[in-house]
Amino acid sequence: MTKKKIQIIVCGGTGCSDKNSNAVAESLTIEIEANALENDVKVVRSGCFGLCNLGPVVRVMPDDVVYIGVKPSDAQEIIDEHIMKGRVVERLLFTDALTGKKLRSAQEMSGYRKQMRIVLRNCGIIDPENIEEAIAHDAYEALARVLTTMTPDEVIKIVKDSGLRGRGGGGFPTGLKWEIARKNKADEKYVVCNADEGDPGAFMDRSVLEGDPHAVLEAMAICGYCIEASKGLIYIRAEYPLAVARLKTAIAQAKEYGLLGENIMNTGFSFDIEIRYGAGAFVCGEETALIHSMEGLRGEPTVKPPFPAEAGFRGKPTNVNNVETFACISPIILKGAEWFSSIGTEKSKGTKVFALAGKINNVGLIEVPMGTTLREVIFEIGGGIRNGKKFKAAQTGGPSGGCLTEKHLDTPIDFDNLVAAGSMMGSGGLIVMDEDDCMVSVAKFFLDFTVEESCGKCAPCRIGNKRLHELLEHITKGKGVPADLDRLRNMCLVIKDTSLCGLGQSSPNPVLSTLENFKDEYEAHVTAKKCPAGKCRDLMEYFIIAENCVGCTACARVCPVNAITGERKEPHVINPEICIKCGACKEKCKFDAIIIK
Amino acid sequence: METITLTIDNKKVDVPRGTTILKAARQLGIDIPTLCYMELHDMNIENRPAGCRICVTEVQGRRNLAPACATKCEDGMVVKTHTTRVLNARRTVMEFILSDHPKDCLICPKSGNCELQSMAHKLGIREIPGAEIAAMSTYRKDTSPSIIRDLDKCIMCRRCEMMCNDVQTVGALSAVNRGFMAAVAPAFEQNLEHSPCTYCGQCVAVCPTGALTEVDHTPEVLRVLADPTKTVVVQTAPAVRAALGEEFGMKPGTLVTGKMVTALRALGFDYVFDTDFAADLTIMEEGTELLDRLNRYLKGDKTARLPILTSCCPGWVNFFEYYFPDLKEVPSTAKSPQQMFGAIAKSYFAEKIKVNRKDLVVVSIMPCLAKKYECQRDEFSVDGNRDVDFSISTRELAAFIKQANLDLNNLEEGEFDAPLGESTGAGVIFGTTGGVIEAAVRTAYEIHTGKKLDRIDFTELRGLEGVRQAAIDFDGLEVRIGIAHGLGNARKLLNDVREGKSQFHAIEVMACPGGCIGGGGQPLHHGNSEIIKARAAAIYEEDRKKPLRKSHENPFIIKLYEEFLGKPNSEKAHHLLHTKYFEKKKKIIVKQ
């Protein structure tokens, strides 16, 4: 493998790919070839940079210059100016909103500076398809140290002392999990990496696998050494083709370098990793369902105990950790438990990656120390609410998390505080809502997802969630009565209390937390039959303010159902019985005479 | 085993480690309600997906409620089974389940015998909140020759799936779809007819609701009984008499042979015969075939295929035709007793009473649902006229008797008609696992050795162990016998046969756990294996009471051979009493 002098890293994350970063990479390649630079310059597709709303993002290394909003047509200029002449293309740089200054590297951006990148340490920096780059960034050093100088118990002690908790959602102490798997004796054990990542909008696992696959492979091997497993399995959804391809490449390269496979580094320890594909069922992120899916069975959970650490894949002790959890392991080994546990809160150590989405200025992937407040995340890193609107709620923990409100803004985010606030960490999705969002509709929206994704095994989740959804639908249509709110609450509590797995045990969270924090909004729907946010179509009423109406008849002419009547030059009236709330009149009115009540 | 102590509802109880809360509570006499859970203790059959969540309990220190069926006791555990939290959760979950279940109990075949209905009653559910806006999950209804699937009534207890896959290894049923539309169905939601289904009916036997039921043929039977131009003959299988009484409130294991005969006569059947007669005939044919193959084998004849496999059970026949078509020359060619009866009734008996076979209707009362399919097989009819016209189950017969205002309890003991109503004890024990081979041994021994048996009860062949084996001394010749009940157990023996590893000379297979007494057409056991054991005991009791207990001693069988068939395995016997098997292929039909 010959080393190229310059690398142009094109972000291949979800956001940038969506904005056609593929075409940018292709154009750059064409330009490089046109200028016969292929021996010196290489285009690399990396994992997510975390600047999703600024994409497509291109980073030129080793200069560490970040270009944003790059179009395929910009390729020529980047090659001509930056690569050939060494002149940075100013117009493609990020402009700081406060200072108006053009910033060259990500490190200069305020949103980036607040972050602490442990999990994402190499994402967007190394070429994930080149193991030597990973090694140059310390990959496999921790494994070497573990295999040559440490006993499994010593490693487990470090992981325990670090305070690392599972990043997949549950927050179970990782070291303890390893210890249990170690203690269960068996002729064969398995290390499983959960890369199912089912939360819509969350893509940190994918980013790690795409941007730094060796971080996961190395940690799995370390775990294998600790629990005495010689086989590792990565359960990844088939919809992640780039991550799968990079994993395959990384596994092959690691084997070639003797870092996986038989007799690793001549220590006598052998560990091999295989990939297993999921079909994208949300419930398969639950570890027992995941294991069943890997065994070729229907992806549905079973009662725990037995835990996978006792009887997992093929009935053997199995340790299941999430991608992000594994990505924390090597730094912990190399820098020590004390270093890791110095970051974060009392019971939640280290950092957490969040996928910021919703009505926020900077959407994307961020990594912050545990204990960072919601306010810092939303208003500093996230750049505040879009269009200057008012913050209303933030939903954490994916579709079955809860909604946090203004009063939670200064709560340090960690596993326990989120649960106490009626939500959860989940895999780290964070969706921000503003004053225009109807919280009843928001709850209904999230339930839409869980109703679809319930496996159907247990009655409360299979039927209960459907009934919750129906009742929310009923309420948003203005057909609810006050007693429905009690029934809604009872159903939520029972579904949480009786469901078999984490899906049903958490799916009512969006309803419960909004019911708790936005009770008045629910009450408005069932008593006054009004939607305060003006979102619920059936509860809207279009109304003409007589004082503003000049009687131009434009609205009456555009109304598709002839619901508007009135004499020319006289105020018009909308008949609510006929009106279908299409909004055409409001759009047409030049005098702001039509409002939604 | 280590004993642990826990507290349930303020009472202390000691249980072995590994015991579930449900069983520990039962030990204390606390009956935690269950819905999806089912156990057939003596057969190691257990269904506990923990899916219905009806049996939830409150365990101190645990965040959420724990299903009693699947939560193991721990030392010092404190469990409460009826706190308001538990009762509210149980009721709400039950309301959920009922909200997605049809309310047509009036015309549901399971009405009165439905576990969901009983649970709704027990929990005192009188209304379903929000029913007016609750959508129902609905599915296409599927009717096969034996079984009707009405998945609108499926509550996802998964019992059928467990029976079909874990016990029977048939693999016709599994969970399909997700979430609200999840149900149990053949792959790709095909019809059962296009699946590997053997019609063993074990899914029906365990279904708590009306989702899986038998095809009811009693209306057709009523029509032929009402038709004065038809002579209607009925045959009753041995297992029926050991279970029918349960439907009339009698203790499991009560024999109702005589009362059943009276009831059938009262229902209007012209002749009430006994399938046991045909069972004796089967022994003559199958026993002779066994001895023939054995003798040829012992003489070094390489074409003699051993072990011989019994072929009385239609579910089993369907199973090997589908999964072991390469071995279809191995089973005995003897037809099942039901079909032997039909063939003889429509030839020998029809001639005797001078009735055209088209005007003679043969109805069978069977503990089985596969018999419905069997009698519809093409090879068992002559010019489109079936040897057995209708097969109805024990349950259907019970319903039919009730419709006629008859209470079995109050009926006189009647006698079967001659000549096809006479049987020996050997014919009776066909109804339980091990019975066919025991009957065969009784006859084969005496024919082979020419000696009289001093001991008729071969207890070594009896029991409920899934796979059993025994060696019987045929006067110096050791005959090795294998027995399997439940198709999963049969598969194990068949795999050995396929690999040439089988040590047996003869293998008896019955598809249903327990044999015909546990058949898919029997009164529902609701997970009580004591019922199946009591039926087996009743069968052996009937055998003991019989004056004749060996098939070849049945005087009417002897007469039948003298007057009509010649000798066992004669050409005429082959024509009427033997069959052949067909390879069943996978038929995947593209969904309509």
B400 near B372, Cβ under 8 Å? no
Q: Tell whether A206 is covered by a domain.
A: yes
Which residues on B lie below 8 Å from A497 (Cβ)?
56, 64-65, 85, 89
Section A146-152 average pLDDT: 97
The Cα of B342 is separated from the nearest Cα of chain A by a number of Å equal to 44
Query: Which one-letter amino acid corresponds to residue B253?
Result: G
**CA–CA gap between residue B374 and residue B325 (Å, rounded):** 17
Whether the CB of A230 is below 8 Å from some CB of chain B: the reply is no
Q: Residue B121 belongs to a domain with what CATH number?
A: 3.30.70.20
Nearest Cβ partner for A466 among B71, B129, B180: B180
Boundary residue ending a domain (A368, A401, A434): A434
Q: Which of residues 472-531 of A touch B (CB under 8 A)?
A: 473-474, 487, 490-491, 494, 496-500, 505
Residue with more model confidence, B160 or A428: B160
Would you say how long chain A is, in residues? 597
B53 and B13 inside one domain:
yes
pLDDT at position A49 is 80
- Pick the closest to residue A224 from A278, A163, A289, A147 (CA basis): A147
Confidence of residue B42 (pLDDT cuts 50, 70, 90): confident
Which residues on A lie below 8 Å from B164 (Cβ)?
none
* Model confidence pLDDT, tens digit, residues B161-212: 999 999 999 999 999 999 999 999 999 999 999 999 999 999 999 999 999 9
pLDDT at residue B418 greater than cutoff 60: yes
B254 and B372 inside one domain:
yes
Q: Tell whether A245 is covered by a domain.
A: yes
* Model confidence pLDDT, tens digit, residues B362-376: 999 999 999 999 999
CB contact under 8 A, B49 and A467: no
pLDDT at residue A550 greater than cutoff 80: yes
Nearest chain B residue (CA) to A298 = B175
Section B489-502 average pLDDT: 94
A198 and A213 inside one domain:
yes
For β-strands B381-382 and B467-474, DSSP reports them as unpaired
Which residues on A lie below 8 Å from B129 (Cβ)?
487
Q: Tell whether A390 is covered by a domain.
A: yes
Nearest chain B residue (CA) to A506 = B64
> With 0-12 CB in 10 A as exposed, 13-18 as middle and 19+ as buried, what is A435?
middle
> With 0-12 CB in 10 A as exposed, 13-18 as middle and 19+ as buried, what is B121?
exposed
The answer to whether B371 is a known catalytic residue is yes
* Model confidence pLDDT, tens digit, residues A280-294: 899 999 999 999 999
Chosen from A497, A499, A500, A503 to mutate, greatest number of chain B CBs within 10 A: A497
For β-strands B3-8 and B78-80, DSSP reports them as parallel
Confidence of residue A199 (pLDDT cuts 50, 70, 90): confident
Whether the CB of B333 is below 8 Å from some CB of chain A: the reply is no
Check B374, B396, B446, B542 and give the catalytic one.
Answer: B374
pLDDT at residue B539 greater than cutoff 70: yes
The Cα of A184 is separated from the nearest Cα of chain B by a number of Å equal to 17
Structure tokens, B503? 């040590």
Chosen from A282, A283, A303, A473 to mutate, greatest number of chain B CBs within 10 A: A303
Structure tokens, B306? 């051993």
A520 and A579 inside one domain:
no
**CA–CA gap between residue A245 and residue A195 (Å, rounded):** 14
Q: Tell whether B316 is covered by a domain.
A: yes
Q: Residue A465 belongs to a domain with what CATH number?
A: 1.20.1440.230
- Residue B75 CA, chain-centre distance (Å), reads 41
Instruction: Give first-to-last CA distance, chain B, whole Å.
Output: 56
Q: Tell whether A113 is covered by a domain.
A: no
A175 and A315 inside one domain:
yes
| Angle at alpha carbon of residue A277, lines to A275 and A283, rounded to 5° | 125
The answer to whether B529 is a known catalytic residue is no
CB contact under 8 A, B53 and A499: yes
Confidence of residue B158 (pLDDT cuts 50, 70, 90): very high
Strand partners, B474: B477
Would you say how long chain B is, in residues? 592
* Model confidence pLDDT, tens digit, residues A472-489: 999 999 999 999 999 999
> With 0-12 CB in 10 A as exposed, 13-18 as middle and 19+ as buried, what is B85?
middle
**CA–CA gap between residue A27 and residue A76 (Å, rounded):** 8
Whether the CB of B138 is below 8 Å from some CB of chain A: the reply is no
Nearest Cβ partner for B88 among A454, A459, A494: A494
Looking at the structure of chain A, the number of domains it has is 5
Q: Residue B76 belongs to a domain with what CATH number?
A: 3.10.20.740
Token pair 């349930």 in the structure block, residue: B8
pLDDT at position A152 is 97
A427 and A450 inside one domain:
no
Q: Which domain holds residue A465?
A: 439-528
pLDDT at position A200 is 81
Which residues on B lie below 8 Å from A456 (Cβ)?
156, 175, 177-182
* Model confidence pLDDT, tens digit, residues B236-253: 999 999 999 999 999 999
pLDDT at position A99 is 76
Q: Tell whether B303 is covered by a domain.
A: yes
**CA–CA gap between residue B566 and residue B563 (Å, rounded):** 7
Q: Residue A276 belongs to a domain with what CATH number?
A: 3.40.50.11540
Whether the CB of A345 is below 8 Å from some CB of chain B: the reply is no
pLDDT at position A50 is 79
Please report, rounded to a whole number, the percentage of residues in chain B having pLDDT higher than 90. 95
pLDDT at residue B127 greater than cutoff 90: yes
Section B505-528 average pLDDT: 96
A414 and A492 inside one domain:
no
pLDDT at residue A53 greater than cutoff 90: no
Which residues on B lie below 8 Å from A464 (Cβ)?
92-93, 96
B211 and B238 inside one domain:
no
pLDDT at residue B308 greater than cutoff 80: yes
A336 and A362 inside one domain:
no
Q: Tell whether B582 is covered by a domain.
A: no
> With 0-12 CB in 10 A as exposed, 13-18 as middle and 19+ as buried, what is B457?
middle
B285 and B243 inside one domain:
yes
Nearest Cβ partner for B52 among A456, A459, A467: A459
CB contact under 8 A, A497 and B65: yes
Section A45-59 average pLDDT: 83
CB contact under 8 A, A455 and B71: no
A98 and A152 inside one domain:
no
B184 and B229 inside one domain:
no
pLDDT at residue B587 greater than cutoff 70: no
Sign of CA dihedral A93, A97, A100, A105: negative
CB contact under 8 A, B64 and A497: yes
B340 and B223 inside one domain:
yes
pLDDT at position A597 is 78
pLDDT at position B589 is 56
Spell out the residues 6+ positions from residue B120 whose beta carbon is closer than 8 angstroms to its own.
Answer: B94, B98
**CA–CA gap between residue B266 and residue A588 (Å, rounded):** 84
Nearest Cβ partner for B177 among A456, A490, A496: A456
Section A256-269 average pLDDT: 96
Section A567-584 average pLDDT: 92
- Residue B559: how many other CB atoms lie within 10 Å: 12
Section B442-465 average pLDDT: 92
Boundary residue ending a domain (B18, B53, B82): B82
Whether the CB of B97 is below 8 Å from some CB of chain A: the reply is yes
Q: Which of residues 101-120 of B touch A (CB under 8 A)?
A: none
pLDDT at position A227 is 97
The answer to whether B289 is a known catalytic residue is yes
Q: Tell whether A420 is covered by a domain.
A: yes
A376 and A317 inside one domain:
no
Query: Which one-letter amino acid corresponds to residue B572?
Result: K
Q: Tell whether B296 is covered by a domain.
A: yes
B139 and B283 inside one domain:
no
A423 and A444 inside one domain:
no
Spell out the residues 6+ positions from residue B169 whose beta carbon is closer than 8 angstroms to its own.
Answer: B487, B488, B491
The answer to whether B312 is a known catalytic residue is yes
* Model confidence pLDDT, tens digit, residues A403-445: 999 999 999 999 999 989 888 888 888 999 999 999 999 999 9
Section B88-111 average pLDDT: 96
Q: Tell whether B587 is covered by a domain.
A: no
Nearest chain A residue (CA) to B176 = A298
pLDDT at residue A2 greater than cutoff 50: no
CB contact under 8 A, A300 and B175: yes
3-state helix, strand, coil in chain B (%, to 5): 40, 15, 40
Q: Tell whether A151 is covered by a domain.
A: yes
B277 and B295 inside one domain:
yes
Q: Which of residues 153-212 of B touch A (CB under 8 A)?
A: 155-156, 174-175, 177-182
- Pick the closest to residue B160 from B141, B180, B176 (CA basis): B176
The answer to whether B374 is a known catalytic residue is yes
Q: How many CA atoms lie within 13 A of B111 on its CB side?
A: 9
> With 0-12 CB in 10 A as exposed, 13-18 as middle and 19+ as buried, what is B268?
middle
Check B39, B115, B214, B286 and give the catalytic one.
Answer: B286
Boundary residue ending a domain (A496, A528, A560): A528
Q: Tell whether B590 is covered by a domain.
A: no
pLDDT at position B588 is 54
Mean pLDDT of all residues in chain B?
Answer: 95
Q: What is the pTM of this model?
A: 0.93
Does the N-terminal peptide bond of residue B331 adopt cis geometry, omega within 30 degrees of 0? no
Confidence of residue A112 (pLDDT cuts 50, 70, 90): confident
The answer to whether B379 is a known catalytic residue is yes
Looking at the structure of chain B, the number of domains it has is 3
Q: Tell whether A508 is covered by a domain.
A: yes
Boundary residue ending a domain (A288, A307, A340): A340
Q: Tell whether A383 is covered by a domain.
A: yes
Q: Tell whether B559 is covered by a domain.
A: yes
- Pick the closest to residue A444 from A499, A504, A511 (CA basis): A511
The beta strands (E) that lie in A336-376 are given as: 351-358, 364-369
B344 and B424 inside one domain:
yes
Q: Which domain holds residue B236?
A: 219-577
Boundary residue ending a domain (B36, B53, B82): B82
pLDDT at position B311 is 95
* Model confidence pLDDT, tens digit, residues B60-97: 999 999 999 999 999 999 999 999 999 999 999 999 99
pLDDT at residue B332 greater than cutoff 90: yes
- Residue A37: how many other CB atoms lie within 10 Å: 17
Boundary residue ending a domain (B152, B180, B215): B215
Confidence of residue A4 (pLDDT cuts 50, 70, 90): low
Q: Residue A419 belongs to a domain with what CATH number?
A: 3.10.20.600
A523 and A563 inside one domain:
no
A493 and A371 inside one domain:
no
B113 and B192 inside one domain:
yes
B14 and B153 inside one domain:
no
Phi, psi of B556 (to 5 degrees): -75, -30
CB contact under 8 A, A498 and B174: no
Confidence of residue B592 (pLDDT cuts 50, 70, 90): very low
Nearest Cβ partner for B89 among A471, A473, A498: A498
- Residue B575: how many other CB atoms lie within 10 Å: 11
Please report, rounded to a whole number, the percentage of residues in chain B having pLDDT higher than 70. 99
B244 near B373, Cβ under 8 Å? no
Chosen from A419, A444, A448, A466 to mutate, greatest number of chain B CBs within 10 A: A466
- DSSP states of A154-221 as a string? HHHHHHHHHT-B-TTTT--BHHHHHHHHHHS--S--EEEEEE---STT--HHHHHHHH-HHHHHHHHH
pLDDT at position A499 is 97
A481 and A552 inside one domain:
no
Chosen from B178, B181, B184, B209 to mutate, greatest number of chain A CBs within 10 A: B178
A155 near A409, Cβ under 8 Å? no
Which residues on A lie below 8 Å from B134 (Cβ)?
467, 470
B538 near B261, Cβ under 8 Å? no
Mean pLDDT of all residues in chain A?
Answer: 92
B162 and B226 inside one domain:
no
Q: Tell whether B589 is covered by a domain.
A: no
B378 near B151, Cβ under 8 Å? no
